[in-house]
Structure 1
Amino acid sequence: MVKVTINSKECEVEHGLTIIQACEVVGVEVPRFCYHERLAIAGNCRMCLVEVEGGPPKPVASCAMPVAEGMVIHTDTPKVKKAREGVLEFLLINHPLDCPICDQGGECDLQDITMAYGKGISRLDEYKRAVPKKHFGPLIETAMNRCIHCTRCIRFLSDVAGTNELGGIGRGENIEISTYIKRHISSELSGNIIDLCPVGALTSKPYSFTARPWELSHCETIDVLDAVGSNIRVDCRGPEVMRILPRLNEEVNEEWISDKTRFAYDGLKVQRLDRPYIKKEGKLVSVDWNEVLTFAAKKIKSTKPNKIAAIAGDLADCESMLLLKEVMHKLGSANIDCRQDGAKLIPSNRGSYVFNTTIQGIESADLCLLINTNPRIEAPIINARLRKRYLQGNFPIASIGPNVEYLYHVERLGNNPNILDEIAKGNHKFCKLLSVASNPMLIIGQDALVRDDSESILALTSKIAEKFNMIRDNWNGFNVLHKAAARVGGLDIGFVPSKGGKDINQMLKQAESGEVEVVYLLGADEIDTSKLENTFVIYQGHHGDRGAHIADVILPGAAYTEKYATYVNTEGRVQRTNLAVFPPGEAKEDWLIIKNLSQYLSLSLLYDSLFDVRKKLDTIGPQFRSVDQVVKNTWVPISNGKINLSNTPFTLKECNFYMTDSIGRASKIMADCTKDFYEHST
């Protein structure tokens, strides 16, 4: 610790902090534009000037000056005040008077700091310079006349996102922030530079001129478009979601979110299922709730239990899966599955299907082995955390799988599954690094678990984890990276076939042949729906997507912004969404639809409220009693008997990052991204 005096108050701060950080610790405000605690120090704006006794005669930039023992700092002297006023006067020489029409108005650092620290008048009357508008793609709107060259956007894309797509060109008054050659910013995290921009130079293109911040109501919730569970704030005006912003959570997403999380919200407004439907004479006809539930119940009652099946989709919440599981069991059917892709995960062994290291725990690892996964597409926030750890040094990363761009250096070991066997036996050159690592970790992608030999792959990775000291009391380096928000919750609840039940592949095969007569799709759209043409399909969901296209009965549900619901992210962290807007039309919360259907089926589900359902969830496992926390899992070795690996090389399923779910496929913004980033690149 270091003793310093700030504004006549003596205090102790950690050694190595800069003056601006020390001031934050003791609660003294220092204005800044270029400094950001998660980015490299630039020292561009000079707004954070302070006076140091016995130091340089001029004020110093507090963001770049480390504290020293006995340092005496003043942040409010006349000299500092005059320096800040001068800096603002210079910054505003070229800044246009756009505040009335600027989307940043009301949330602008330049506005706030000018009001608090500015002089109020300017002595300069030269013409303001003009900078041509830049085209950064369908997501980011630019007004580069407003740019104050803080370089936050450049540093974010270089350091955090790892794409190095922006830079400064020109010198002095002619400097411009540019992509060098005319191209769009392609990072999956590009929207974060909108939040980082302290002026209105970079704003959200889809949000442009649609609302003012003071018109919006805010709801703190979580994202479910991937399995990370990023913490977000949903801003609404009336019944409409206007924008989505990140919410600080150091353990999950820090203060970043992916572009899919941020911009897919317009998909919540279109192709919505807002009333019940029944197919009559080949056409879907809207009916009331009583008629649709009577019709669905009649069909289910007249079907033998072993010919009824239920599939939970990637956006299904824990409450609705729990109730649907109970309905199926009371009907006498064990044909339920939440693994739409057919991944061979072990439901009875929680440690074998979650990200045990935790997202924040990545920063404590000192080696990483990636097994047939591309975190950049599957979980951009986790990829950013891996890059953050990589930049700190002493973090070798290797991959077994196809060659993809990871945004950090990765040693490619090949794409043959037999490499896993070599490592498990200690015969591979990579074993040397594994054996000397203190906290090694491995990450298995979902595409490694949908193969015919996936059980052997899971058993081998378990052996590697045990052999190379990845499993200890204070460390667990065995990680499964999920893509779907509902997957871990479904496995926790046990939404998988019990003894004698059919899994997803058997259900689809028997539905195609007519052996399965009724299939209940709980928002399940990522399956081969062509195999359900010979069966009676009940679809419960919120969008007219693939499942609704082949449905005989449609039960309109609520999207994640329209209900209080529970989800479990890839690390096993239980999180809850909150209701930001009400569901459209006659749509209802998903658990309530299943509860109502159970009454028409003459089944007794003893839940009268969401509180009752959550009390039942609490009895399932400690994770549901510890919301927003990660529960440590007991490690149970995975044994498979004989290892039988295929010679088929690892491959990654072709995936459009922007359209992995029904909301993304309904979004025009995501369609524009697909057109710009996928169609133009091929």
Structure 2
Amino acid sequence: MAVCPVGAITTRDYRFKSRPWDNPNVVDTMCTLCSKGCNTSAWLKAKPEWAKGSRLIRMTPRFNAEVNSYWMCDIGRFDYHWVEGDARLRRPMRRRGDALENAAWHDVEPRMRDALQAAGSADAGSVRFLVSAHASTEELFVLKELVQGLLGGDGLKSVSVSWTRTEKVQPPDTKFKVPATNAPNVNGAKDLGYRVGTGNDGLPDLTDLRTAVEGGRVKALYVIDSGPDGSIGDVSWIAAARRSGKLPLLIVQGVVLTELASAADFVLPGAAYVEKDAIYTNDQGRVQGAAQAVVPPGEAREDWQILVNLAASLGLALPYTSSEDVRRALSIDVSFARAMSARSWLQASNPSERWKWDFMYQDLPPVKGHNVQMEGVIPLMPIGK
């Protein structure tokens, strides 16, 4: 599929949706479904009826000699439909009785503030956070500022980071290895000071959080679940604790209506990886950017913005009005960002040019305006060197 020069080899997923030269736009981004961080291109619909109403038509690999060469795995190529699926969160929700109902942001935010303040009034340690390693570095940075600003210098101890691992069956001599860690930013969390245990080499340790939740010592749990369903791991024990009353308050900020979100008191719709400009640190320690291909649906917001608004409602002013503001602060605050002064996410001026054989194999310079560039960034060494 990736090397056929005439398009004779196709996939059932893409077949009859559109022709490559009819697609109005293609955005250079990256895959976030594992720790490799393959460079990819997100293709957007030409006509709604061709893609059955979806905006994303397909994902294809983009050449990067240091990360994925010309290739990508089938998981990254085909597992993107959840972004626009039926379970996608599009509006905030709050619990009324036994059911969740849609609500406006201006209704949810003050109620959530009051509930969090009540939960933390006796003991600030009774408020805990659980964040998926699918969260971008910007989101992790804003969360760090939020918990340290509200809970003090030890605020990060209130945050647990989670992800999953799946060993993929692969030929032993293959050059393109798909890693076991199913999350893009374990190293980004580690660089910011979050506790990640053995990182990409192992599983997260949620023992302390689970013991506290099931023991009734946690009065409020705020979950940031930025990936597809199941990407944060088995958290059925959290939903069970909420239903039993051991956990009085559960807030879930995510992109799909999971079992955990269904048990929450407040549900906040965030942005998926193709709906925001964001950076992630892959398993090589390489900082890479994902570009916004489509806007968040309905009333969903980028996750850094939700956290900034939450901080403001709790009396903590964070000076960010865009993700670029957050990256600028990152470049000052953390060493791994180094000279990250500006980030340009550019789109192809003529996507059909990508299908010339000579362009696919880098024999011609890129189409003007096509490359995703990070200005002034020094190439990074892998973590630990």
TM-score with structure 2 setting the length: 0.75
Matches within 5 A, 1:246-395: 246-270=61-85, 271-304=87-120, 305-332=124-151, 333=155, 334-340=157-163, 374=167, 376-377=168-169, 387-388=174-175
Measure the CA separation in 2 of the matches of 1:264 and 1:285.
29
Measure the CA separation in 2 of the matches of 1:259 and 1:599.
42
Measure the CA separation in 2 of the matches of 1:628 and 1:311.
32
SS in 2 for 1:195: coil
12, 27, 33: which one aligns with 1:219: 27
Deviations along 1:635-675, one digit per CA (max 9) or x if unpaired, are: 5xxxxxxxxxxxxxxxxxxxxxxxxxxxxxxxxxxxxxxxx
2:44 is aligned with 1:236: yes
Measure the CA separation in 2 of the matches of 1:633 and 1:218.
32
How many corresponding residue pairs? 313
Q: CA RMSD in A?
A: 2.6
196, 204, 208: which one aligns with 2:15: 208
Alpha carbons of 1:618 and 1:197: their partners in 2 closer, same or farther (altered >3 Å)? same
511, 514, 519: which one aligns with 2:216: 514
**What amino acid maps onto 1:336 in structure 2?**
V
Measure the CA separation in 2 of the matches of 1:628 and 1:291.
45
**What amino acid maps onto 2:234 in structure 1?**
I
Match of 2:199 in 1: none
Match of 1:352 in 2: none
Shift of 1:567: 0.8
2:234 is aligned with 1:527: yes
SS in 2 for 1:204: coil
Matches within 5 A, 1:29-40: none
Shift of 1:631: 2.4
Measure the CA separation in 1 of the matches of 2:289 and 2:251.
27
Contact 2:284–2:382 (CA under 8 A) maintained in structure 1: no
Measure the CA separation in 1 of the matches of 2:38 and 2:378.
12
Measure the CA separation in 2 of the matches of 1:388 and 1:596.
45
TM-score with structure 1 setting the length: 0.43
Measure the CA separation in 1 of the matches of 2:333 and 2:12.
44
SS in 2 for 1:202: coil
Measure the CA separation in 1 of the matches of 2:131 and 2:104.
24
Measure the CA separation in 2 of the matches of 1:628 and 1:264.
32
**What amino acid maps onto 1:320 in structure 2?**
E
Deviations along 1:190-240, one digit per CA (max 9) or x if unpaired, are: xxxx12223343201111111122332100000000000000000012761
Contact 2:133–2:189 (CA under 8 A) maintained in structure 1: no
Unaligned ranges ≥5, structure 2: 47-53, 197-204, 227-231, 340-376
Measure the CA separation in 1 of the matches of 2:378 and 2:273.
17
Alpha carbons of 1:563 and 1:592: their partners in 2 closer, same or farther (altered >3 Å)? same
Shift of 1:619: 3.0
**What amino acid maps onto 2:235 in structure 1?**
D
Shift of 1:314: 3.0
* Larger RCO of the pair (alpha carbons < 8 Å, separation 6+): 2
Contact 2:39–2:67 (CA under 8 A) maintained in structure 1: yes
Matches within 5 A, 1:85-104: none
Measure the CA separation in 1 of the matches of 2:381 and 2:333.
13
Shift of 1:581: 0.7
Unaligned ranges ≥5, structure 1: 1-193, 344-372, 390-405, 408-444, 446-480, 498-502, 636-682
Matches within 5 A, 1:444-523: 482-496=181-195, 504-523=206-225
Deviations along 1:502-534, one digit per CA (max 9) or x if unpaired, are: x73211221122110111111073132323423
Give % identity. 31
Contact 1:521–1:547 (CA under 8 A) maintained in structure 2: no
Larger Rg: 1
Contact 2:132–2:225 (CA under 8 A) maintained in structure 1: yes
Shift of 1:633: 4.7
SS in 1 for 2:70: coil
Matches within 5 A, 1:117-156: none
Match of 1:354 in 2: none
Shift of 1:623: 2.7
Deviations along 1:426-481, one digit per CA (max 9) or x if unpaired, are: xxxxxxxxxxxxxxxxxxx8xxxxxxxxxxxxxxxxxxxxxxxxxxxxxxxxxxx7
544, 553, 573: which one aligns with 2:266: 553
Shift of 1:544: 1.1
Measure the CA separation in 2 of the matches of 1:545 and 1:632.
34
Measure the CA separation in 2 of the matches of 1:508 and 1:496.
15
Measure the CA separation in 1 of the matches of 2:259 and 2:225.
10
Deviations along 1:319-345, one digit per CA (max 9) or x if unpaired, are: 11111122122221431121446x9xx
Shift of 1:620: 4.1
2:2 is aligned with 1:195: yes
Contact 1:308–1:518 (CA under 8 A) maintained in structure 2: yes
Shift of 1:313: 0.7
SS in 2 for 1:338: strand
**What amino acid maps onto 1:198 in structure 2?**
P
**What amino acid maps onto 1:629 in structure 2?**
P
Measure the CA separation in 2 of the matches of 1:631 and 1:604.
35
Contact 1:523–1:547 (CA under 8 A) maintained in structure 2: no
